[in-house]
Amino acid sequence: MNAINSSDELIEILSFRMGTNSSNLTESGFSVAVDSALLELGWVLPCTHPKQVLWIINRSLRYCLEILLIESAHKFRYDKIFLQNRFSHYQTLIEKMDKDFEKAIEDNPSLFANMVQIDSEYIVNAMTSYIPNLRDYDIYGRE
């Protein structure tokens, strides 16, 4: 793979790489995965750099698996062990993909210079920020 020229081309690659699992994702699911990967990486298509092509594919696959994981979690039933196994397998794949990605960032920091990085401390601080209510309401909800 030398270049990815469009989202449609990337979706074709993802569909092939996912095999029979691709039938479990809609076209909009694939589009969301592609958009998420490109936003995370800070890159745009077309892309010709070989390592960027590789990571666009890998991160898009990761987001496809996340969609499948969420769908599996939604269908999860304790008495249906095969769903529990599928859920666990997807989660393990995503964790491995994230670790591989972290290592790639460490090994090639200049390649990922435009990437949007949000650490867990930022997320915790953002979620616990308090925006005060600037209006007073009585017990009936009137100002």
Range of the domain at 57: 7-128
* Percent of the chain surpassing pLDDT 70: 66
Predicted structure pTM score: 0.61
pLDDT at 127: 43
Phi then psi dihedrals of residue 47, to 5 deg: -135, 130
Q: Yes or no: say if 114 and 43 are a contact pair by the CB < 8 Å rule.
A: yes
As a whole number of angstroms, the distance between CA 83 and CA 81 comes to: 5
- Residue 141 covered by a domain: no
Is 31 a member of any domain? yes
In-domain check, residue 139: no
The whole-number average pLDDT for the span 56-74 is 85
How far is residue 45's CA from residue 19's CA, in Å, rounded to a whole number? Answer: 24
Dihedral pair phi/psi, residue 119, rounded to 5°: -85, 165
User: What 8-state DSSP symbol labels residue 103?
Assistant: H
Question: Looking at the 3D structure of the chain, how many domains does it have?
Answer: 1
> Tens digits of per-residue pLDDT, 121-143?
544 444 444 444 455 555 555 55
Other CB atoms closer than 10 Å to residue 135's CB: what's the count? 6
Q: Is the pLDDT of residue 78 over 70?
A: no
User: What's the token pair of residue 51?
Assistant: 């390592």
